[in-house]
Structure 1
Amino acid sequence: MTTIGFIGLGIMGAPMAKHLVDAGHQVHGFDLSADATAALAAGGGKAAGSIAEAVNGADLVITMLPADPHVETAVLGEDGVLAHAKTGSLLIDMSTVSPQTSQAVAEAGKARGVRVLDAPVSGGQAGAVEGVLSIMVGGDESDFRAAAPVFDAFGKTVVHVGPHGAGQVVKAANQLLVGGIIALNAEALVLMEASGVDPRLGLEVLNGGLAGSTVLTRKMDNFVNRSYDPGFRIDLHHKDMGIAQNAARGAEVALPLTAAVAQLVAAARAQGLGDRDHSALLAVIEGFNNRKET
């Protein structure tokens, strides 16, 4: 059993923390939502009233937060994780942030005697609930091996991809792929419907061939039913596409399709769909074609 401080009990963090509880770890969770911490306590964890309370005495700390500013405040802030983490403990930031933020956290952790991994995830809310997330990890190999039992609680594919920040680069690549695949599936659906083809039947047969994907499997009902309840919000994908574009600029590579997908995501956000699931890119494609939901 490991004592774990878990910061961020949102739609991803809550099921991940619960898997850790179920695996036998002592989990002290903190979130700005009292309901979220109460739910963790009801499931066998412990509700913490502050970051300090969650972190004090923890062997390992996990942060699962929306964006760079949240990580900077919660980890690097005056009353943040590193101000209270014990020497020799391991901090795993599983948020999706820029590689530069992950590297800054690692440097700050090193100065305080805290080991750090960046370990963003892919799989969405469903993957978190089912405990089958893909986890891309940056940092030292020895720290990766030490964290293996924790990753095993909610991950299916767990890979050490390189030094600090490398996990975030791979996550940026993941997000540009997911966004592009969603957009192309949306265009395929619009084409089939405009041609009189039943969209579910069309998508099902496409998903059985080379065009098939986990994205289509997860999002088919969203597409067909125009059901955009968030599993992963447009606002967050917009943030992630910015990370991908900045990473491309830093690596001095041209990614024209990534830029196009980023504009589609930005259009969805501009149209008031920021709090909807990223499958709502379908609504943007339909808008281009003056086609109403059916």
Structure 2
Amino acid sequence: MSRIGFIGLGIMGSPMSAHLVAAGHRVTGFDLNEDALAKLTAAGGTAAASARDAVEGAEVVITMLPDHPHVEEVVLGTVLDGVARGTLLIDMSTIRPETSLAVAEEGAKRGVRVLDAPVSGGETGAKQATLSIMVGGEEGDFAAARPILDTLGKTVVHVGPHGSGQVVKAANQLMVGGIYALVAEAIVLLEASGVDAKAGLDVLAGGLAANRILDLKRDTMIAREFRPGFRIDLHHKDMGIALAAARQVDVALPVTGLIAQLIASGRAQGYGSLDHSALLKVVENLSGRP
């Protein structure tokens, strides 16, 4: 069992840290939210007063932060100064590939092993420990991290060198956004045509159009329940990462561009704090069916 410092105890990080505690690891966590710290303590972990305190003496450090500026501030500004050589740093945030590369480069200078390991599966996947985890970094470091990652996810894959995990996550997010938009359009079409949307989507979920979003979200979308599991604000950030990654390698992603605009529209319409399934509201508004 490992001594783990866990920074970022939000919607995703809170259940993930609890799984690590349940698996027998000694987890010391930090978050700016006092309620998040209380949840970790209730789960059997230890609350730290600061990020530096959380990582002191840790063999493994996990970060789960909202965006690249937070990772740069916390990891480059605090964590790498507070850990020993040989520490394994697993950044599970969804950020720009270039930030992951910068963290890995700085870690190498200090003898810290670094992996970028963003996840897919949302709040449900975090709670059920069924996340898909896409990992970039050295093969040996991935092997060392594998027992910990297996505690958090069902699909854990080493996808390539540093930064590769973030590229795969960008591909994941563009696909998720596209599927949400298409499910939204299907609901609007079915309802406007006088067809029972639940019956229609039940049929679609059993055919070639089947997908995880239909499996997990069709009932809540039809009911217009958009409690955030993954907020539109965050998906907007992720689509920016996907488009920037495409520009860096000179490829055109025209459908991704359109989906990014729909998500940006949702944010502009005040839906940023809602679940990304609230793309349904954007499509309804475009059709004059709010």
Q: Give the TM-score normalised by structure 1.
A: 0.98
Q: More displaced, 59-68 or 32-41?
A: 32-41
Q: Is 1:288–2:275 an aligned residue pair?
A: no
How far apart, CA to CA, are the structure 1 residues paired with 2:221 and 2:202? 12
Q: CA deviation at 1:273?
A: 0.4
2:156 pairs, out of 152, 155, 158, with: 158
Equivalence for 1:265: 263
Q: CA deviation at 1:39?
A: 1.1
Equivalence for 1:135: 133
1:226-282 CA-partner distances (Å, limit 9, x unpaired):
111100000000000000000000111001000000000000000000000000100
Equivalence for 1:10: 10
How far apart, CA to CA, are the structure 2 residues paired with 1:65 and 1:144? 20
Equivalence for 2:96: 98
Instruction: Summarize the alignment of residues 131-280 of structure 1 with structure 2, pairs less than 5 Å apart.
Output: 131-280=129-278
Q: Is 1:42–2:20 an aligned residue pair?
A: no
Q: Which amino acid letter does the alignment assign opposite residue 97 of structure 1?
A: I
Work out the percentage of aligned pairs sharing the same amino acid.
65
- SS of equivalent to 2:66: coil
1:161-186 CA-partner distances (Å, limit 9, x unpaired):
00000000000000000000000000
1:112-148 CA-partner distances (Å, limit 9, x unpaired):
1100000000000000000000000000000000001
User: How many equivalent residue pairs?
Assistant: 290
Q: CA deviation at 1:38?
A: 1.4
**RMSD between superposed Cα atoms in Å:** 0.6
- SS of equivalent to 1:57: coil
Q: Give the TM-score normalised by structure 2.
A: 0.99
Q: Is there any run of 5+ residues in structure 2 with no aligned partner, and where?
A: none
Q: CA deviation at 1:221?
A: 2.2
Q: Which amino acid letter does the alignment assign opposite residue 128 of structure 2?
A: E
Equivalence for 1:71: 71
Q: Is there any run of 5+ residues in structure 1 with no aligned partner, and where?
A: none
Q: Which amino acid letter does the alignment assign opposite residue 173 of structure 2?
A: Q
- SS of equivalent to 2:89: strand
Instruction: Summarize the alignment of residues 98-137 of structure 1 with structure 2, pairs less than 5 Å apart.
Output: 98-137=96-135
Q: CA deviation at 1:65?
A: 0.3
How far apart, CA to CA, are the structure 1 residues paired with 2:254 and 2:186? 20
List structure 1 segments (4+ residues) > 3 angstroms apart after TM superposition.
none
